Structure 1
Amino acid sequence: MTRYFEYGDEAIAYLKSRDAKLARAIDAVGPVHREMEEGDLFSSVVHHIVGQQISTAAMHTVWARLRDLLGEVVPATIVATSIEDLQACGMTFKKAEYIRNFAQSVQSGAFDLAAVEHMDDAEAIAALSSLQGIGTWTAEMLLLFHMGRPDVLSFGDLGIHRGMRMVYHHRKV
């Protein structure tokens, strides 16, 4: 069953009450039904690394190849796979290296993904962005669209910048 990012009427009413231009934009756009990511946090992190700086179509292709290669995207299957075989799925050497290092750190217990789920937003972003291949923006996207954290605003997101420029008629935000 598809999960959608949830935000309530109270949050929308609050935002609309704080800014008339934003209120008009919210009314014009209407409800946004953004699908949440499926699977566990581990596979979601890997999926985000795979998808960085490539088209959506390319990301789907590489992800399908990776899932076909591994059977299951879990630390053990990635650790048991060479960087060259990961790279052969269509990703760069660096991405394959980041994914393998991440899997090793989770498998060894050096990185505790379960703990991340229970951290506050700032701690979770700091923990995730401490990983090679995961920056602040990617960590924020994981919190929003995997963990469903409603109070994360990605100030570095180009889509948010573009939207703010459109709403407020600024050249840059």
Structure 2
Amino acid sequence: MYFEYGKKEISYLLNKDKKLAEVIEQIGMIQREIDADLFSSVVHHIIGQQISTKAQATIWKRMQDALGEINAETIISADPAELQSLGLSFRKVEYITDFARKVHDGTFNLDEIWQMSDEDAIKALSSLKGIGVWTAEMILLFCMQRPDIFSYDDLAIQRGLRMVYHHRRIDRKLFEKYRRRFSPYCSVASLYLWAVSGGAIVGMKDYKPKNG
């Protein structure tokens, strides 16, 4: 499954911002995979913290092979040492098992998260051990497909903004200006800024000062 967007979102952004419009026209449609299962998405994001995407994929595959379905019951049933042997740190095992127990005993209700506003869902998710605001925002985008996510804490989005708009630095005030411009389709704008940051358009450079 990929993040769903189409003509409505693209037309809005094309009309709102000339420079972003040029980026969208050069790159075309972007396919970003999503995981629609909220439990496995939280676990996946905890695994991925402070490691490479490749390492995250390797550990995730090992976990799937070892546990089969990844849910609260299989995580709780697993021996912590077994989870660590898959490549997880002691701390990440602690975070994942704490989350699984809370879901299992009803302390944390995943179904309620789907009904919440973005702000409340971010607050609820970031109350979990090992989940900060940025991780919660990524879960809203890449699991729940919320349309208006724009993360100030995401360094690649800041880099994308510097590259597209030739800024040297992105402070909160400037970031909020772009959030207002792209809303209510900030998530789609984020996809394109990530692509730019990753080198999707040859010749675009980062204007961040070398000593900054």
For normalisation by structure 1, the TM-score amounts to 0.91
Q: Which amino acid aligns with 2:34?
A: M
Q: Following superposition, which runs of at least 4 residues in structure 1 exceed 4 angstroms of deviation? A: none
Partner of 1:33: 31
Q: Percent identity?
A: 55
The partner residue of 2:6 within 8, 11, 19 is 8
Distance 1:63 1:97 in 2: 16
1:162 to 138, 159, 164: 159
The amino acid across from 1:29 in the alignment is I
Instruction: Say which SS state the counterpart of residue 128 (structure 2) adopts.
Output: coil
Q: 1:134 aligns with which of 131, 135, 139?
A: 131
**CA-CA distance at 1:84 after TM superposition:** 2.0
Q: Cα deviation per residue 1:65-121 (whole Å; 9 max; x = unaligned)?
A: 212222221111111223222111101110000000000000010000011111111
Instruction: Please list every run of 5 or more consecutive structure 1 residues that lacks an aligned counterpart in the other structure.
Output: none
Moved more, 86-95 or 16-25: 16-25
Please point out which of 93, 97, 107 is paired with 1:100.
Answer: 97
Q: Which residue, 81, 84, 87 being the options, matches 2:81?
A: 84
Unaligned runs of at least 5 residues, structure 2:
171-212
The Cα shift of 1:24 comes to 1.8
- Number of matched residues? 170
Give the counterpart of 1:152 among 135, 149, 174: 149
RMSD of Structure 2 on Structure 1 (CA) = 1.4
Deviation at 1:19, TM superposition (A): 2.1
Matched, 1:116 2:107: no
Letter in 2 for 1:6: E
Name the CA distance, whole Å, in 2 between partners of 1:14 and 1:151.
13
SS at 1:53 equivalent: coil
Equivalent residue for 1:50?
A: 47
The structure with higher relative contact order (CA 8 Å, sep 6+) is 2
